[in-house]
């Protein structure tokens, strides 16, 4: 499809900002000029893998870029095959438009995986086996739902086709209808976050992804460097201590319950209730290596096989005082 035909097909709702084959550095720079579909769920505060603060820092160029891992790279490699599967199954050809920008809301971007001639957008997902529950029946994962509604908002299209390869199985295909109520909610939260970017007013650190973000921002500490903290920090530390004690108590109770059930099972490895498997206690083996001895006796082998992971450990000193 030529640029002119593509623009006409989009009905004037948005403009083509970058072609599909734009160099990655150019693409990374362009995505900092607005909010994209992959950030829609984070803007709602519901993304377990990305917080609002992460999106904010990324737009300002203050966030270390994630290194592509094997799963991400594999997703890029199999995307054309998944797109071909979609066309084979539905008979709908797909056009990749590149990065799009909303004309009405220039801060709203869309890097859709494709446009279909029936008035839809295509979103491709490649996810692992452990997240298969998000795709049971006619379900669509929350992230794919939010992303699809964002794309429909930018393009004005009526529906989205979501095709997902789950755990290496043949892809499943879902049709997502345009939801004006959800679109309004997403747009409101995205606009709020973008205004924060404009005003340099960061959102609070929150959500499941908060700790991962902190580790990426501050991967190493300067030995001996001090910081003076205020009463707000001390309140957080007190709450942390309370939660820690509750966790220890819950963990002890878990161990007690586990022991009671294991005692009832005895030598059995499977427990059934009314013919349904409800618990297992299987045989396992764990091998441990003496890294120090390995390095002393076989330094070359240790150098080739031992991987060292560096991390920072938070340690509450008031917890230790309370334990004395």
Q: What are the tens digits of pLDDT across the range 191-210?
A: 999 999 999 999 999 988 89
Question: What is the pLDDT confidence band of residue 62, given thresholds at 50, 70 and 90?
Answer: very high
φ, ψ of residue 206 to 5 degrees: the values are -160, 165
Taking alpha carbons only, the member of 40, 41, 39, 98 closest to residue 63 is 39
Running DSSP on this structure, what letter comes out for residue 34?
S
pLDDT of residue 11: 67
Question: What is the pLDDT confidence band of residue 261, given thresholds at 50, 70 and 90?
Answer: very high
Instruction: Determine the 3-state secondary structure of 281 from DSSP.
Output: coil
Q: What are the tens digits of pLDDT across the range 99-116?
A: 999 999 999 999 999 999
- Work out the angle between the directed axes of helices 52-59 and 180-199 (0-180°, nearest 10): 50
Instruction: Determine the 3-state secondary structure of 156 from DSSP.
Output: coil
DSSP H or E stretch at residue 99: strand 99-102
Could you tell me which CATH number the domain at 3-214 has? 3.90.320.10
* CA dist 124 → 108, 117, 147, 260, 293 (Å): 20, 17, 11, 46, 48
pLDDT of residue 297: 86
Q: What would the mean pLDDT of 126-132 be, rounded to a whole number?
A: 81
Taking alpha carbons only, the member of 225, 221, 219 closest to residue 63 is 219
Q: Give the other-Cβ count within 10 Å of 33's Cβ.
A: 15
pLDDT at 321 over 70: no
State the residue for tokens 């072609």.
Answer: 19
- Which residues, in sequence order, are CB contacts of 305 under 8 Å at separation 6+? none
DSSP E strands, 167-282: 172-177, 270-273, 276-280
State whether the Cα torsion 304-306-310-311 is positive or negative. Answer: positive
Instruction: Name which residue leads in pLDDT, 258 or 306.
Output: 258
> Mean pLDDT for the chain?
88
Q: In terms of C-beta distances under 8 Å and separation of at least 24 residues, what long-range contacts does 57-64 make, across chains too?
A: 57/202, 57/217, 58/32, 59/32, 59/35, 59/194, 59/197, 60/32, 60/197, 60/200, 61/32, 63/216, 63/217, 64/216, 64/217
Question: What is the pLDDT confidence band of residue 180, given thresholds at 50, 70 and 90?
Answer: very high
Task: Give dist(CA 272, CA 267) in Å, integer.
Answer: 14
pLDDT at 4 over 80: no
Task: Give dist(CA 276, CA 260) in Å, integer.
Answer: 20
Running DSSP on this structure, what letter comes out for residue 67?
P
pLDDT of residue 72: 74
Question: What is the pLDDT confidence band of residue 288, given thresholds at 50, 70 and 90?
Answer: confident
- Paired with 127 in beta bridges are 166
Q: What are the tens digits of pLDDT across the range 70-94?
A: 777 777 788 889 999 999 999 999 9
Instruction: Determine the 3-state secondary structure of 18 from DSSP.
Output: strand
Question: What is the pLDDT confidence band of residue 322, given thresholds at 50, 70 and 90?
Answer: low
Q: What are the tens digits of pLDDT across the range 144-156?
A: 999 999 999 999 9
- Paired with 234 in beta bridges are none
């Amino acid at each position: 499809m030529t640029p002119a035909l593509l623009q006409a097909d989009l009905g004037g709702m948005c403009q083509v900002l970058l072609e599909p084959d734009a160099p990655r550095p150019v693409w990374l720079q362009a995505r900092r000029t607005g909010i994209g579909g992959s950030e829609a769920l984070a803007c709602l505060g519901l993304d377990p893998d990305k917080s609002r603060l992460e999106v904010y820092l990324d737009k300002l160029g203050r966030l270390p870029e994630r290194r592509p891992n094997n799963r991400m790279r594999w997703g890029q490699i199999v995307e054309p095959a998944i797109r071909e599967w979609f066309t084979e199954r539905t008979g709908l050809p797909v056009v990749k438009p590149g990065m799009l920008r909303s004309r009405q809301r220039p801060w709203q971007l869309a890097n859709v995986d494709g446009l279909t001639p029936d008035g839809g957008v295509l979103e491709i997902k490649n996810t692992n086996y452990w997240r298969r529950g998000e795709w049971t029946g006619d379900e669509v994962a929350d992230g794919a739902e939010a992303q699809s509604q964002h794309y429909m908002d930018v393009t004005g299209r009526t529906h989205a086709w979501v095709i997902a390869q789950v755990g290496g199985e043949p892809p499943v295909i879902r049709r997502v209808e345009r939801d004006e109520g959800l679109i309004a909610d997403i747009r409101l939260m995205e606009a709020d976050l973008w205004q924060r970017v404009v005003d340099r007013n960061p959102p609070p650190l929150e959500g499941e992804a908060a700790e991962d973000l902190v580790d990426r921002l501050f991967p190493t500490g300067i030995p001996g460097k001090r910081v003076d903290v205020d009463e707000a920090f001390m309140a957080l530390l007190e709450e942390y201590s309370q939660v820690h004690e509750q966790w220890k108590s819950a963990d002890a109770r878990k161990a007690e319950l586990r022991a009671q059930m294991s005692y009832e099972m005895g030598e059995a490895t499977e427990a059934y209730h009314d013919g349904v498997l409800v618990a297992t206690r299987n045989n396992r083996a764990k091998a441990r290596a003496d890294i120090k001895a390995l390095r002393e006796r076989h330094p070359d082998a240790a150098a080739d096989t031992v991987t060292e992971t560096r991390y920072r450990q938070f340690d509450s000193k008031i917890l230790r005082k309370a334990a004395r």
